[in-house]
């Protein structure tokens, strides 16, 4: 699947009781084809037009039809979706749904999700022409626009009544275009040079064996891709990865800790922001055999020596060449204490921590549950999210902290090292 701005985005589609509900099936399919993670919520009347099984079959995810429904973890389903959503699309939105939204009524799963979420909401109304032009409906639409909702006006065409007029649901492709425009954040990293490390390292033991780890590189690739989409000039220092690097970034292959160190130390002085998402092996064999080690009856003893601490080395660079520095901490226990120690000892600006080996083990997964720490302690409380969504939230936070740090440090508008290069 070709990556798009919707890749990995969590989009909730809310369907209300209109004959146009059948078009919501095409909408969900198009969003899935563009890489979005689609959850569908339906009002009770919507289920009389299209069965929940239709949406579940397309999205491969459960459909929410009851405002009191619990998820597999016994959490309130509509609250979980409201918190995890990157965007909410209400299509079709009936006159009744518009009135409920404008009044703040939350009697069904669709209105409850829209009210509880802080994600952007796209509303695509569909109804009879008389209903659409009624003053009450127009007042409700104006109220929703004041709330910040994006309303896609209905089209003129043949209606369910057999009449022709305004009220026909906008085409699914037009609704998808509106959703995609929510995520084109052009300029938020414009002019900045960003370096991201990703994947694991493989420390040679002999010509065919190595010491490594289970890192897939998916998190680092998502971070690089998101930075690219925000206008940054991105260099990806790639270790061993199970995913292809995103297009439009400069890729430097570095499959051992020593190669990664060389690439990072070379790139860091010209970078504005460095995100060290790679899982660099802490140890490497003291000597790599030039020939394949043969099996024998004796125990094999391998002497390991420490690898360079790349992120700490960058943290010790002089302020005029040191980039804004973000590290990662994968811990099996005491996440907050260990992350705080790494933040302090390695001279980091931020550190992204996640627990490995437990129910939220994200190694190799398409999802991740992270906590970002600053000098003042934990800064986030995010649920388990698709890694692309984690990347977007990280860049919102990193970008804000970077601009604040540059302004405070320079006593004026943020300056970038990237602009000083010839």
User: pLDDT digits over 108-156, tens only?
Assistant: 999 999 999 988 999 999 999 999 999 999 999 999 998 889 999 999 8
Cα–Cα separations (whole angstroms), residue 116 to 79, 93, 101, 109, 197: 7, 18, 11, 10, 36
- The residue among 390, 388, 395 whose CA lies nearest residue 3 is 388
213 has catalytic annotation: yes
Taking the C-alpha atoms of residue 14 and residue 114, their distance in angstroms, rounded to an integer, is 9
pLDDT computed for residue 358 by the predictor: 62
Q: List, for residues 381-421, the tens digit of each pLDDT value.
A: 888 887 887 898 899 999 989 988 877 764 333 445 543 33
Q: Could you tell me the CATH superfamily of domain 10-182?
A: Flavin prenyltransferase-like (3.40.50.1950)
pLDDT computed for residue 184 by the predictor: 66
pLDDT computed for residue 70 by the predictor: 64
Angle between helices 218-229 and 387-410 (to 10 degrees): 60
Q: What is the pTM of this model?
A: 0.60
Q: Is the Cβ–Cβ distance between 199 and 281 less than 8 Å?
A: no
pLDDT of 160 above 90:
no
pLDDT of 250 above 90:
yes
Higher pLDDT: 389 or 171? It is: 171
Per-domain residue ranges for the chain? 10-182, 193-420
Find the catalytic residue in 96, 213, 354, 368: 213
The stretch 166-185 carries a mean pLDDT of 86
For a pLDDT cut of 70, what percent of the chain falls above it?
92
- The residue among 229, 144, 222, 132 whose CA lies nearest residue 189 is 229
Taking the C-alpha atoms of residue 412 and residue 406, their distance in angstroms, rounded to an integer, is 8
Task: Report the chain's mean pLDDT, rounded to a whole number.
Answer: 88
Taking the C-alpha atoms of residue 78 and residue 113, their distance in angstroms, rounded to an integer, is 5
pLDDT of 259 above 90:
yes
- Kindly indicate whether the domain formed by 193-420 is annotated with CATH number 3.40.50.970: no
pLDDT of 360 above 60:
no
Judge if 10-182 and 193-420 fold alike in CATH terms.
yes
pLDDT computed for residue 357 by the predictor: 67
């Amino acid at each position: 699947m070709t990556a798009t701005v919707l890749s990995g985005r969590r989009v909730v589609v809310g369907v209300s009781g209109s004959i146009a509900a059948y078009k919501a099936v095409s909408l969900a399919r198009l969003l899935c084809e563009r890489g979005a993670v689609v959850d569908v919520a339906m009002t009770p009347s919507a289920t009389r037009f299209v069965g929940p099984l239709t949406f579940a079959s397309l999205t491969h995810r459960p459909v929410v039809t009851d405002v009191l429904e619990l998820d597999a973890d016994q959490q309130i389903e509509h609250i979980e979706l409201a918190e995890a959503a990157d965007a909410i699309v209400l299509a079709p939105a009936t006159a009744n749904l518009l009135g409920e939204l404008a009044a703040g009524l939350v009697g069904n799963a669709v209105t409850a999700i829209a009210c509880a979420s802080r994600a952007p909401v796209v509303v695509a109304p569909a109804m009879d022409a008389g209903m659409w032009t009624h003053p009450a409906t127009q007042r409700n639409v104006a109220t929703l626009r004041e709330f910040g909702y994006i309303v896609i006006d209905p089209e003129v065409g043949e209606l369910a009544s057999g009449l022709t007029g305004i009220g026909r649901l906008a085409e699914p492709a037009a609704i998808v275009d509106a959703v995609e425009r929510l995520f084109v954040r052009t300029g938020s990293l414009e002019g900045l040079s960003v370096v991201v490390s990703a994947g694991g390292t493989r420390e040679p033991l002999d010509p065919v064996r190595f010491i490594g780890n289970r890192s897939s590189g998916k998190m680092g690739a998502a971070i690089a891709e998101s930075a690219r989409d925000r206008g940054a000039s991105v260099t990806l220092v790639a270790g061993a990865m199970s995913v292809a690097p995103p297009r439009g970034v400069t890729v430097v292959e570095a499959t051992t800790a020593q190669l990664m160190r060389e690439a990072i130390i070379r790139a860091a002085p010209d970078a504005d922001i460095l995100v060290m998402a790679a899982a660099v092996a802490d140890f490497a064999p003291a000597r790599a055999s030039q020939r394949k080690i043969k099996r024998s009856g004796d125990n094999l003893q391998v002497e390991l020596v420490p690898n360079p601490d790349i992120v700490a080395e960058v943290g010790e660079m002089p302020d005029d060449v040191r980039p804004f520095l973000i590290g990662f901490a994968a811990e099996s226990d005491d996440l907050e204490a260990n992350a705080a120690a790494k933040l302090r000892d390695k001279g980091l600006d931020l550190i992204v921590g996640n627990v490995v080996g437990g129910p939220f083990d994200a190694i190799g997964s398409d999802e991740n549950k992270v906590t970002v720490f600053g000098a003042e302690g934990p800064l986030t409380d995010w649920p388990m999210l698709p890694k692309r969504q984690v990347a977007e939230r990280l860049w919102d936070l990193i970008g804000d902290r970077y601009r604040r740090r540059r302004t405070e440090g320079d006593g004026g508008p943020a300056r970038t090292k990237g602009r000083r290069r010839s």
